[in-house]
Structure 1
Amino acid sequence: MIITIDSLNRHKFGSVLDDMYRLRARVFQGRLGWDVNVQDGMERDEFDDLDPTHVVSLDDDGNVVGCMRLLQTTGPHMLADVFYSILDGEPPLRSSRLWEATRFCVDTARLSGGKSRNSISYVTSEVMIGAFEYAQKAGVLDAVAVIDPVMNRVLKRSGNAPYDYVGSAKPMGKVTAMAALMDCSDERIASIREFSDIRGNVFSSEEEVIALIAEKSRPKSDNCIPFRPAKGSSGELQDYFVQQLRDANSPEEIVAVRQLIEAVSGTLSDKSRQALRRFN
């Protein structure tokens, strides 16, 4: 499932962002050996302070398993300010309809091979679909990404081949870097979906993710009631909680349900909260 986190909703998803930064540290410093800034086990840079949009993939247990950062090119961005040698002296690309995609990674330790839902291939495609569909709705026409030859081959194999490149490939530390251009078109999105066999909506609502994270953070015990966030509206969450209260077989289970209701109460409508109070 995909959640997009930006300046408008980041206050709701601090724990998700922290897990995302930890994943980035494990991948970019730990696995790839990049010279990146890691503090307290989290990788962040100055571009994370510019209110980018983070496209984050979560598994069914609320773990961050993939991510990508989208940043406007009208201001500072990595191709203009870090990887500018790729441009061979040409001015950086700047347009409100061109975004930069960086810091893409997936959790290869947690994910499997193949094309199943919990596979590296699936999450890679899910993040790409989420990024392109989100950008498309924002009126963005193209994305530029600094990649290496390995990622270039991954993109080509997954129905997401760049349509062009900017400048020329340059050695950057242990890898070779190049700047690839990809259009945010229906055809590209359809091609990725065809490759990955992802047919439905990849986005989760904020309410679903908040409920999932609340369940993940709740202390586990023998009396915990398995929970998967209800799809859709506040009313459906209300129905779910009412059913859990009806099915509770002990005072401990009732307390567990009430704790979960309290944890996600901010996502419920006033009407739903009042109904649950009456039920209690």
Structure 2
Amino acid sequence: MIFIIDSLNLREHADIVKDMFRLRKRVFADRLGWDVQISQGMERDRFDDLDPAHVVSVDDEGRVVGCMRLLQTTGPHMLSDVFSSILDGEPPLRSATLWEATRFCVDTDRLVSGRARNSIAYVTSEVMIGAFEFAMSAGVTDAVAVIDPVMDRVLKRSGNAPQGYVGTPKPMGKVTALAALMDCSEERVKRIRDFAGIYHDVTQPQTVIA
């Protein structure tokens, strides 16, 4: 199930948000070895203080198993302030109808392979559906995301291929970073739903039949 958490309901979902930051720590610091800020077992950065929206997947036991951060591009964001070299000297993208998607991750320790509800592919698709549908409801037409080649292949396989790229790929630590553009559209959401077999409202709990 997907929770959309922003400044309006942050207190209501404080425990979920803490678990989300713990997942980010396990993925980005422990597994990927990124140079990120860790405090009290949680990974946070300065962009989390700019009132982003968090798209969080929670499993049937109430555990956070996936997440993504959505941030407006009209102010500071990672492509403009951290990964600006990708832009080759061009000005950063800024628009009220363009959001940046970052900090996407899933809990590969708790999720399985295949396409079942507790699979990596299912949760990845669920987060993407939740993010695009929420963005469209807010009047957002496009998204930009800094990704690596592995994520680029994942997006292409799951009906969520980028419609284009900004700037040129640049080495970032152990990986190559790309700035991918994606439209927020019903057609894109349909492709992701068809790939994953997800046709329900992802923000509503589903009955599990034994």
Q: Tell me the TM-score normalised to structure 1 length.
A: 0.73
**How far apart are 1:42 and its partner, in Å?**
0.2
**1:226-237 aligned within 5 A:** none
**How far apart are 1:68 and its partner, in Å?**
0.2
The residue aligned with 1:255 is none
**How far apart are 1:141 and its partner, in Å?**
0.2
* Larger relative strand fraction: 2
The residue aligned with 1:257 is none
**1:57-136 aligned within 5 A:** 57-136=57-136
1:202 partner letter: V
**1:150-161 aligned within 5 A:** 150-161=150-161
Which digits, 9 at most, give the CA deviation of each residue in 1:167-212, with x for residues without a partner?
A: 00000111110100000011000000000000110013xxx7xxxx
After superposition, the CA RMSD in angstroms is 0.9
User: Separation in 1 of the partners of 2:85 and 2:165?
Assistant: 14
2:72 partner letter: Q
The residue aligned with 1:45 is 45
User: Separation in 2 of the partners of 1:143 and 1:201?
Assistant: 21
The residue aligned with 1:237 is none
Q: Would you say how many aligned residue pairs link Structure 1 and Structure 2?
A: 206
| Identity level (%) | 72
The residue aligned with 1:178 is 178
User: Separation in 2 of the partners of 1:48 and 1:24?
Assistant: 12
The residue aligned with 1:216 is none
Runs of 4+ off more than 2 Å = none
**How far apart are 1:40 and its partner, in Å?**
1.0
The runs of 5 or more residues in structure 1 that have no matched partner are: 209-227, 229-280
Larger radius of gyration between Structure 1 and Structure 2: 1
User: Separation in 2 of the partners of 1:201 and 1:11?
Assistant: 24
**How far apart are 1:90 and its partner, in Å?**
0.2
Q: Tell me the TM-score normalised to structure 2 length.
A: 0.97
User: Separation in 1 of the partners of 2:121 and 2:62?
Assistant: 19
* Larger relative helix fraction: 1
**1:1-280 aligned within 5 A:** 1-204=1-204
